[in-house]
Structure 1
Amino acid sequence: MASGATRPAEGEAVSDDALREAAETMRAVRERCVWTQRITHRDLVPYLVEESAEVIDAVEDGTRADLREELGDLLWQVLFHAEIAAGDTDDPFDIDDIARGLTEKMVRRHPHVFAGAVASTPEEVLVHWNAAKAAEKKERTSVLDGVSAHMPSLALAQKLVGKAAQVGVGAPTHHLADPETEAELGDALLTLVQFARTRGWDAERALRERLRSLRTEVQAAEAGPGTARE
């Protein structure tokens, strides 16, 4: 392990720590499964996207059992990436390094919990968070640094509208009634995103939930009146 921790020997009993057991299960799969041995970080990206989407489905429209299972599947992706990284010859790190780095970062970003800072409102919490983040990311020169272009377009639009506001750039506005070109349609969509942002709404979630309702309506129409679906 990159951090010097000792792994259980082959055949040795795994501890009662369920997370450790999951990590060791991943290690065994990586060592013994010929398909898994060939997988790279890049190969895993489609699975990470899929599993993340399934967690969202479970949160918004699933049962508690669904959520527990899908969070487990997402955790498996993290463990998978960690095990691949542990085998890197140039810059190895493992799940313990990831967890340690995460803990250190979260402690830094919550000085009102772990140090003497005071935050009595969510807004004050955000001030501490942003200050700690700025100190960590001193190399960033733009408010856009760290904003992934791979986010869904609607979620990315809402993120960029907020970032633009930080530097005094207003989002395009458009009369929503009848855009005449694709560019005007883009402006109209951004207008709606800005509308959502000013009200504290999540534009991506709003559309996703409406699409879920539309899916139900389509299925009901396919079934026909009085027809039971299989």
Structure 2
Amino acid sequence: MKNPIPHSPRPAPHSDALVHDETGGLPRLLEIMARLRDPQTGCPWDIEQTFATIAPYTVEEAYEVADAIARGEMDDLRGELGDLLLQVVYHAQMAAEAGHFGWDDVVTEISNKMVARHPHVFGDESRDKSASQQTRDWEKIKAAERGGGASGALAGVALGLPGMTRAVKLQNRAARVGFDWPDITPVIAKLAEEATELATAPTPEDRFEEFGDLLFVIANIARHLKIDPEAALRAANAKFTRRFEGVERKLAAMGKSPAQSDLAEMDALWDAVKADERAREK
């Protein structure tokens, strides 16, 4: 485990002027959070929160940032980045209150990390190398940073990552030590094998396990194709939503709702929505 950096908990001054100063920038946000968490004068809900209760909001806000980016909505992205920043400030404030570290320590930690992991920018290493080589160098630096901690090839892959993302990261780690198929052909064969095993699984427990194996192979296919599986699934979700809403609109034009329709009709309308999309794309 790396040595903790010296912590410097930030006091919580009570400045109404700063809170209401729209040009106050980050100091204003830090002051707002300190005020919200003040045991005597803060918000009862905010005072009751812990790292564990706030963590789900942190994950949710990160996804909302990704969603705004996927939709290309820059106004939404501005707001969502602010929401995500608030999560970081929230955790730092709680850590400062407990005497673990403060906001300045968080900033120092990430700044030091970025400098150390980019010797080709901030040091004397050459920038004359490919992006893939820089990625390999980055991973070497990260491995050195882990130092005396868990030393296995899979050490340090966060448990809290989305399942498909973590699967890809685990597979990448294994691949770096030679545990990988040479190309996608055997991975596709493995997909068919796992699908058969799922279809023939005799118990709910077996089906649960085989379904997980199937998803793991799909993550491996995504990795070999250099596709982000989470992004691909988000795109598929968006496409399904868009097309089903198109079916609903066509039904509404007929004076009907989905509950008043049937699968055959809705499937035909689905095909019509797809055809409309293709026509617009031409």
TM range (shorter): 0.7 to 0.9
Distance of 1:164 and 1:131 partners within structure 2: 14
The reply to whether residue 101 of structure 1 matches residue 109 of structure 2 is yes
Range moving further from structure 2, 145-154 or 11-20 = 11-20
TM-score for the superposition, normalised by structure 1: 0.86
Select which of 51, 56, 63 maps to 2:61.
Answer: 51
The answer (yes or no) to whether the contact 1:111–1:128 under 8 Å persists in 2 is no
Give the 3-state SS of the residue equivalent to 2:253 in structure 1.
coil
The answer (yes or no) to whether the contact 2:174–2:180 under 8 Å persists in 1 is yes
Shift of 1:184: 5.0
Range moving further from structure 2, 142-151 or 206-215 = 142-151
What is the one-letter code of the residue matched to 1:147? V
What is the one-letter code of the residue matched to 2:33? M
- CA deviation map 1:169-227 (0-9, x unaligned): 34772327952243555444333322221221111211110111001111111222573
Normalized per residue, which structure has more helix?
Answer: 2
Matched with 1:3 is 8
Q: Which runs of 5+ in 1 are unaligned?
A: none
Matched with 2:236 is 210
The reply to whether residue 193 of structure 1 matches residue 197 of structure 2 is no
Distance of 1:85 and 1:202 partners within structure 2: 33
Matched with 2:30 is 23
The answer (yes or no) to whether the contact 1:154–1:203 under 8 Å persists in 2 is yes
What is the one-letter code of the residue matched to 1:215? T
Matched with 1:143 is 153
The answer (yes or no) to whether the contact 2:93–2:102 under 8 Å persists in 1 is yes
Shift of 1:100: 0.6
What is the one-letter code of the residue matched to 2:117? R
Distance of 2:93 and 2:70 partners within structure 1: 31
Matched with 2:82 is 72
Which structure 2 residues correspond to residues 22-41 of structure 1 after superposition, within 5 A? 22-31=29-38, 32-41=42-51
Range moving further from structure 2, 28-37 or 165-174 = 165-174
Distance of 1:36 and 1:208 partners within structure 2: 32
Q: Which runs of 5+ in 2 are unaligned?
A: 1-5, 182-186, 202-206, 255-282
Distance of 1:60 and 1:105 partners within structure 2: 28
Shift of 1:136: 1.2
What is the one-letter code of the residue matched to 2:127? A
- CA deviation map 1:19-71 (0-9, x unaligned): 12211111111111121111100010121121111111101014100000001
Shift of 1:127: 3.2
Shift of 1:165: 1.5
Shift of 1:12: 7.1
- Larger RCO, structures 1/2 (Cα 8 Å, 6+ apart): 2
Distance of 1:177 and 1:46 partners within structure 2: 32
The answer (yes or no) to whether the contact 1:110–1:128 under 8 Å persists in 2 is no
Distance of 1:178 and 1:8 partners within structure 2: 57
Range moving further from structure 2, 121-130 or 70-79 = 121-130
Shift of 1:126: 1.8
The answer (yes or no) to whether the contact 1:174–1:184 under 8 Å persists in 2 is no
The answer (yes or no) to whether the contact 1:174–1:188 under 8 Å persists in 2 is yes
TM-score for the superposition, normalised by structure 2: 0.71
The reply to whether residue 169 of structure 1 matches residue 175 of structure 2 is no
Distance of 2:112 and 2:89 partners within structure 1: 19
